[in-house]
Structure 1
Amino acid sequence: MALAYDSYFYGTVCHVCKRNDANGVKLKRCGGCRMIQYCSQQHQKVHWPLHKSVCTCIRSVMHNRGVQYVFQRTCEGFSAEDWCKERYNVMLLTQLKLGRRLSEGEQQMFMFPRVCKVCHESDQEKLQDCKNCHCVSYCSISHKQQDFLRHSMSCHWLKLCFYVDKHFTKAKDPYPLICVPIRDKYEPLPCDLDAFISVLMTYSKDITKWNQPIEVALLSELLTCPLTLLYALEKLETSFSKNLVIHVVGAAAFECIFLKKWEVILHCLPQLTCLDMVFIGPEIEQGFETTCMLCVDCQKKGRELSTHFQSGNLYHQYATSETFLMPDIIVAYNCGLHECVGTDADTWLLSLPFLVKFNQTPLILTSYTIDEAYRDFARILDCRKDSLTVSLKCAKNPFASKRPYRDWGSENCDIFFQNNFITLVTPH
């Protein structure tokens, strides 16, 4: 239970059980870091062994800064960029004192602290929380009114984000089963992910479950990667042989968990008998499942889904290795090619030419936002501008995930979605 509840942080609820004041409990804040709340002394004691070390470091940061709250100096006048830098710097300072990498839940303490959304006021006694989404707080009625229009556009998504995260802390098997029927002959995809999921409702034993936004959000997260790839193949109007080799570049947990989702490609492309998935990326961790048991029908048809993991490797390293398997298509989900340009942290620099090296081998790029999509596309153009066929340019992806994630880096948009925009190019 500890690992589950500690994987997510919301400063407006009890950190252990995720209950809030609206549930009839009086939340009490940690007397040390003053960032985490608990509904009872019992839950504070449960969390203390996990929280003790980082709490001590945060108290040290507060003492050195001469403040009662870690972000006390971050008030009105800070730009969105300044606010991001402030949180990032305090997070790095705490991590340095801690002597280890912060966990995801600990990072979220700094990414999403309980402060006023408008002015970043951090005095906890002045703040009132949004009772609907449990993600946003205000220090005054005037600031709440000032932010009303902007917040009204994301409040329901933030609420869904909270309940999806809460679902992960309690469910033994959080992801729903994928029941995509096998096609005997090729059929074009429905117009978008909503239409695809509505078809699946026919095959669900418990149709009432599909009325729950959490189930749809999680199912969409599983389906978005294979369906985005199938969508790109339709745009290319290319017929492949019985074998298909796909390189997933910059892969991490998002692509590698729940490998059975890739079987959807076999179900939708009846001519395929063998699907080779090669996952390449420095963030691929040990412990991921490496094999996938196919359904009975796929087994009867003699189909194979082979997975290969290039853990810790960048794409240029794999592309020049003896184990290199020539791809039919290359895909980089949520690639972030534009990030860290001109810095030592630019891990894409040497790999970019290899993404568009192989003639007639399509490249799929997806991005969270339209701005990121254009910046990623520009970087690909710099590699091979005059010999690229562009089939999709920074287009809205109809098969983007519908699971929202909180965005800590944007002041105007509080959420983002995986694979939200798509670019498809082919070198020639």
Structure 2
Amino acid sequence: MQQERMPPLPARLGLACYKCFKEEGVRLSRCGGCHRISYCSPECQKLDWKGHKPMCKALSAIENGKISMAAATLFFSLPNEPTTDLNVLDKITNAHGSNMLRFCQLTLKRPATMAEGNIVGWEPRCMVCTRTDQLIRMEAAKNGTTSEPLAHLIPCPQCNISFCCSPAHWEAARALHHGPCEEGHDGLSHCEMNREVRGDVMFEEAIAGAHDESGQFLWAPDRVKAAWSSLAAVSWVTELGDEMRSAIRVPEERSMAPWIRAASDNLTMPMTILYALEQLKEDDAWTRKHTLTIHIIGAGMKEIQGAMVFEEILHRLPEIKTLKLVLCGPELPGNRVPKVTQMDTCPDCTKGGRRRVHEYVADTYHGYVESQGTKFEKPDLCIAFNSGASQESTHTWPATFKLLVGRKIPSVFTAYNREEAVGEAALLRGEGARLHPALGPVKNPWGSIKVIPEPNRIHGFYAPNGWFAGGFQ
């Protein structure tokens, strides 16, 4: 059964139909209740109304003053003059997003779903004063001035997903918007990164469902390398560009960039594992082992749905006979009793007697190790992809940190962005870990290059495994 897909970024911003996701060749109309999302037709709005109705009413209640103190709280700390101080802007937008979500949940009388939270998190706002369409309308009503009921922020004519509330504020924001973006790549500006994001969304929509029920684009090379070669001096483009063009038969005149970015979103997992092993090990003896054992801790559905890409580890290590992956995480389906699955391999690996074994355990890693007792075997590497240890999952990780450091298990943690990486690095050092300088906190050269704008912020991007938080042994 195909899963219902999460509305993409343009739909969250009201720039595409929230039901069918179309944005080209259609006339969009804003929802008359919340003024936040758009539809291409009454039919799409009717089909989506059951799902949207609770959040629509919650957002409308804020604007209509049905929640006491909501307006005062939302207006608090809004700057009167434009500012390009990113720390100030981030502080305001994070506070505003948190308050909005809290007020909505008071009306919902339950936690917001991920889709509902996304409507709040990616709400368009002025880049230099943080005002939103809703705040502009509420401010006008408070001051008794006239305002168009459906007035919108002014979008950048080039990227269309950054906004300002007036021409004067656009002048103030111009240098920041068109200057190099720290969280980007290849020296691209914030505006250019936005355009790349829009291109990736269009690419994703064009291929949605063609490769995987979840809508993910899953691709990995089907060749076996003749010998291991270092990942230290190559990149996504130089390593995969020509190979991918030939495999997928993309014409020479078309850029491979969207394809590579899409593939990197899942291939980042095996490539990050290989790069981390190369950095942590003193020599290349690990590339010639009979069995290579990797423990993926804090694992979730992304690792399960993208399981096929892990064969790239075997394909780059031709002397390995068995790749054993233990996927361990309290959110995995199943229970604490390990479930072993023999995975399919490509014809070349099968012919050569090479195996890939996945073991699934629904438990914390320290719980798993404790349950194994004397049967526990130290892996070649423990890795946690985007653990959220310094933010969302602070309560489950300290015991695992202590165990990894105490038992001297080679380990690596990745994060979505610099902030998370720095926070996790501090936690790891606090447990006594001596971090490898090439493994954090530092940008991961094999992190996904399919970036996503940060929610509840005006500037900045994040990506799966975008940063190494720390590696140690």
Instruction: Give the structure-2-normalised TM-score.
Output: 0.78
The structure-2 alpha-carbon separation of the partners of 1:228 and 1:349, relative to structure 1 and needing over 3 Å to count, comes to same
Q: Which runs of 4+ in 1 moved over 6 A?
A: 66-72
Letter in 1 for 2:297: V
**Structure 2 residue aligned with 1:327, among 367, 375, 379?**
379
**2:472 partner SS:** strand
Aligned to 1:130: 156
* Superposition map of 1:19-418 within 5 A: 19-20=22-23, 23=24, 25-62=26-63, 63-65=65-67, 73=75, 75-76=78-79, 79-121=89-131, 122=133, 123=136, 124-152=150-178, 153-169=189-205, 171-172=208-209, 173=211, 174-189=216-231, 191-201=234-244, 203-208=246-251, 211-235=255-279, 236=281, 237-240=283-286, 241-284=289-332, 292-311=343-362, 313-322=363-372, 324-339=376-391, 345-359=394-408, 361-385=409-433, 392-411=439-458, 413-418=459-464
From the superposition, tell whether residues 396 and 68 of structure 1 become closer, same or farther in structure 2 (CA, over 3 Å).
Answer: closer
Q: Which amino acid aligns with 2:226?
A: D
3-state SS of 2:406 partner? coil
Please tell me the residue identity of whatever aligns with 2:350: Q
Structure 1, unaligned stretches of length 5 or more?
Answer: none
Does the Cα contact within 8 Å between 1:11 and 1:37 map onto a contact in 2? Answer: yes
SS of the residue corresponding to residue 226 of structure 1 reads: helix
SS where residue 468 of structure 2 aligns? strand
Relative to 1, partners in 2 of residues 1:70 and 1:275: Cα closer, same or farther, differing over 3 Å?
Answer: farther
> What count of residue pairs does the alignment treat as equivalent?
416
Taking the aligned partners of 1:146 and 1:119, their CA distance within structure 2 comes to: 10
Question: How many Å separate the matches in 2 of 1:400 and 1:198?
Answer: 16
1:101 Cα deviation after fit? 4.2
Does the 8 Å CA contact 1:244/1:328 hold for their aligned counterparts?
yes
Equivalent pair of 1:336/1:367 in contact (CA under 8 Å): yes
Measure how far apart 1:277 and its partner are: 1.2
CA–CA separation in structure 1 for the residues paired with 2:26 and 2:68 = 32
Residues 143-178 of structure 1: CA deviation (Å, up to 9, x unaligned): 122222222322232233334345445522241532
What do residues 317-375 of structure 1 show as CA deviations (whole Å, max 9, x unaligned)? 122113855322111222333326xxx9532122211222323x321122333443333
In the alignment, structure 2 segments of 5+ residues that lack a partner are: 81-87, 137-149, 179-188, 335-339
TM-score where L is the length of structure 1: 0.85
- Equivalent pair of 2:122/2:456 in contact (CA under 8 Å): no
Distance 1:69 1:213 in 2: 44
Supply the AA of the counterpart residue of 1:301: G
Change (3 A) 1:214 1:95: farther
Q: Which residue type is aligned with residue 155 of structure 2?
A: D
Contact kept, 8 Å, 1:392 with 1:423, in 2: the verdict is: yes
